[in-house]
Amino acid sequence: MTKPKVIMHNSITLDGSFRDIEVDMELHYGTASSFGEDIHLVGANTAKIGIEMFGGLPPEEDDDLRKQERDEANPIWAIVDSKGILKGSLHVFRRFEMCRDVVVLVSASTPKDYLEYLKDRDYDFIVTGEKHADLKEALELLADRYEAETVMVDSGSSLNGALLEQGLMDEISLILLPLLTGGETESLFANIGKMKHIELELLKCEKLEKGYLWLVYGVKRSSNK
Ligand SMILES: NC(=O)c1ccc[n+]([C@@H]2O[C@H](COP(=O)([O-])OP(=O)(O)OC[C@H]3O[C@@H](n4cnc5c(N)ncnc54)[C@H](OP(=O)(O)O)[C@@H]3O)[C@@H](O)[C@H]2O)c1
């Protein structure tokens, strides 16, 4: 099995903030569309925060219990959620017109009632790993099952860090906001302190409107692990 190309895409201020910032959605997702993603990979915390950002949790309706008929050109949304924190909420994503359907990446530690919730609603899920999903195996299975070549990661530091640490990240795409927040910042990659220096290669540097910059770097050490 082959691993798909993995590109993370984040908006970040000039002083390194990526949480609680006002992301320009048009620029963020407009630039991301050029990657032609087959899979939109989202971390559970990011998804949970997204629900609040996009207007809260509507009650589930009959139509939410089954797969929707969507154009295959739309990406699959693969949500990493081994703890089942999105139980009762996944219909928010299934309703997105640009989401072909939701696939959940779980592990051996995932609560059984979450798996029942997924089965009852006909969500595909992939079980790998013990505590967390085994990202390498899950990516390979996604590529195989959905003929996916490109994965775009829409996530914060935990999932970004895990993918980088495991040598699974191929490109880092950043929308740089012309803004200093002065707030406390954390690394965009959890566990970066434990990693060796990682060399990057500049692939794109584009000036966007309103003083934004779009930077794309290739990760020189990737998918070799
Ligand atoms: N500015 C931007 O562009 C942008 C974009 C997205 C998100 N964000 C921000 O980022 C923040 C959320 O970031 P976060 O780091 O808390 O959450 P996150 O990115 O949603 O990551 C959490 C996910 O990572 C998974 N994970 C962590 N370590 C793993 C490992 N070793 N192997 C496999 N999976 C692993 C967890 O899996 P389990 O399910 O197993 O726990 C969980 O599903 C929010 O504030 C959000 O607004 C910003």
Residues framing ligand 1 (Cβ under 6 A):
10-11, 18-19, 23, 43-46, 49, 80-83, 132-133, 135, 154-159, 162
Structure tokens at 22: 């006002």
Q: How many Cα atoms sit within 13 Å of 95 on the Cβ side?
A: 14
Per-chain mean pLDDT for the chain: 94
What are the pLDDT digits (tens) for 41-50?
A: 999 999 999 9
Is there a common fold for 1-38+149-225 and 41-146? Answer: yes
Delimit the domains of the chain by residue range: 1-38+149-225, 41-146
Residue 140's pLDDT is: 97
Topology given in CATH for the domain delimited by 1-38+149-225? Dihydrofolate Reductase, subunit A (3.40.430)
What are the pLDDT digits (tens) for 130-161?
A: 999 999 999 999 999 999 999 999 999 999 99
Query: Which secondary-structure segment (H or E) carries 105?
Result: strand 102-106
Considering the segment(s) 41-146 as one domain, its CATH architecture is 3-Layer(aba) Sandwich (3.40)
Hey, which of 132, 153, 173, 192 would you mutate to test ligand 1's pocket, going by the most ligand atoms within 8 Å of its Cβ? Answer: 132
Residue 222's pLDDT is: 44
